[in-house]
Amino acid sequence: MQNIRNIAIIAHVDHGKTTLVDKILHTCSLFRDNQETGELILDNNDLERERGITIVSKNVSVNYKGTKINIIDTPGHADFGGEVERVLKMADGVLLLVDAFEGPMPQTRFVTQKALALGLKPIVVINKVDKENCRPDEVHEKVFELFFNLEATEEQLDFPTIYGSSKQGWMSTDYTQKTEDILPLLDAVIEHIPAPPVSEGTLQMQITSLDFSKFVGRIAIGRIARGTVTENQPVTLMKKDGKLVRSRIKELYTFEGLGRIRVESVKAGDICAVVGIDGFDIGDTIADFENPEALPVMHIDEPTMNMLFTINNSPFFGKEGKFVTSRHLIERLEKEMEKNLALKVEPTASNDSYLVFGRGILHLSVLIETMRREGYELQVGQPQVIIKEIDGVKCEPIETLIVDVPAETAGKVIELATMRKGELLIMEPKGDLQHLEFEIPSRGIIGLRNSVLTATAGEAIMAHRFKSYEPWKGEISQRSAGVLVSMDKGSSTAYRIDKLQDRGIFFVDPGEEVYEGMIIGEHSRDSDLTVNITEGKQLTNFRTTSKDDATRIAPATKFSLEEAMEYIQSDEYVEVTPQSMRLRKIILRENERLVAAKKKS
């Protein structure tokens, strides 16, 4: 049997996972010398490249010294933890990347906890030792402390450590001795990561990922735990609910480099892709036809947040999108649930609206951004945390928030976090920065990033992860300012924006189309104000010797999708179309809003 190593690369966001995979692919001569590959080869969809993060895990393989190494590149952001949890099932060991300056971060703890619980063998890679102020020895101690706190076994605590720089393309067992390549890392993988365990018995393969081809349909991906799978083999698909479905494997592929090659059979221990099985879900088991035995069902952490997704019913409905009806919306959400295990969808009292549950703002915003690029029009409501009743006590999700800021702005950050029921636990120097750790309700984090970045002139580094459900912390004051709302439909004019600039900050430029009830700016006071920005200047046929002063208009404030989602309140929507993003009141007419507010009070 061919030597195989199955490894997952895990780390906090932006610690260099995908860059390291690039270097491994180049080192193992996967490309011609003159081939243009670019950087971040595995971040191959537009959203990943634009945001500089990994969203979906990827499988590749390389051959080194006669050993096939299957590599799983995983997302680093906490919102995509569901993706990490399921793909770790395919691995026997992990490469844990840690930044030589930042050390273990919240997501490092999360993914490490999952990997250690599955009994995976770790290799610690302390990356970016070329950075100024790096502290490899101190970070190594912090990683050991983290493993100890996560109750790692003695074997896991005896982890090998590799130092280096993914970007510069070198790895070494001693950070003071720079090498020419990353071969010491690959040698460590072969030496320390165990070969996949192979037990005797009939076929067992758990589906941990899926792909789609317009030619063959859905493709099941997973690692064969036991037995051998061959083309045209009859099998039993064992569903999570206990249902058995008879099926047959039509085509079989293994991972070779960046692609897949068709094979006749695959033995236990290898990762493969199976074509021909219908109706499967992630977590189902492909088993023997006559004596099927299921593997344990996967457990994925529950979502912590929900948002209302509804059809676009604004006056600009249907101008830009191809998919605009509630049928289009629910079909797309159901399709997403097939591969996104951390996502849940529930119907509401209205046939046009659905509650979508996810891991966080980024998790949901990536789904919305993907949908708008596919031609969907929709509206989304304010993100809400999921409240639970535990032993008769109302409980809410609490998160660990870590902020690294320049010392002179630490006071402002502490004030902003404590205003949102955050409790300061740790305050210590970290290089030339101040390291702050809080426990804060998930509600308090919504909209906090913008305030912190403003207060620190963009220099704060923020990270957070879910900790536990704890008793309700009380009311949290949200947005401190009201909004400017358009009272009419038409094009905004420079004349009116100029006249109203002392009333607040505008979100629209002159010449933009607006409608009644659309949010066009932020009011300088805490109340909402309805204004007219479509009225032009009254012209006369009298000549005058004095010219009008040229209008000086401040540039409009433009939100990203996540910023807009964090900005809106419970009576507002974000309208998302393929080309535009607008904020609006749910009730468009002012007199109807006033009536609704009176009834509520």
Q: Point out the annotated binding site.
A: 14-19, 127-130
H/E run at residue 127: strand 121-127
- Residue 257 backbone zone (phi > 0: left; psi -120 to 50: alpha; other: beta): left
H/E run at residue 46: helix 46-51
Instruction: Count CB neighbours of 127 within 10 A.
Output: 28
Beta strand pairing call for 228-230 and 234-238: unpaired
Task: Write out the binding residues for GTP.
Answer: 14-19, 127-130
Label residue 568 exposed, middle or buried (CB < 10 Å: 0-12, 13-18, 19+): buried
Q: Please tell me the distance from the alpha carbon of residue 33 to that of residue 275, in angstroms, as a whole number.
A: 34
Q: Which of 404, 310, 311 is nearest to 102 (CA)?
A: 404
Q: How far is CA 121 from the centre of its chain?
A: 26
The full 3-state SS of 501-515, as one line of letters, equals: HHHEEECCCCCCEEC
In sequence order, the β-bridge partners of residue 356 are: 307, 345
Dmax (CA) of the chain: 98
Q: Please tell me the distance from the alpha carbon of residue 272 to that of residue 495, in angstroms, as a whole number.
A: 64
Residues contacting residue 595 through CB under 8 Å, at least 6 positions apart: none
Helices (H), 340-409: 361-373
Helices (H), 506-583: 561-567
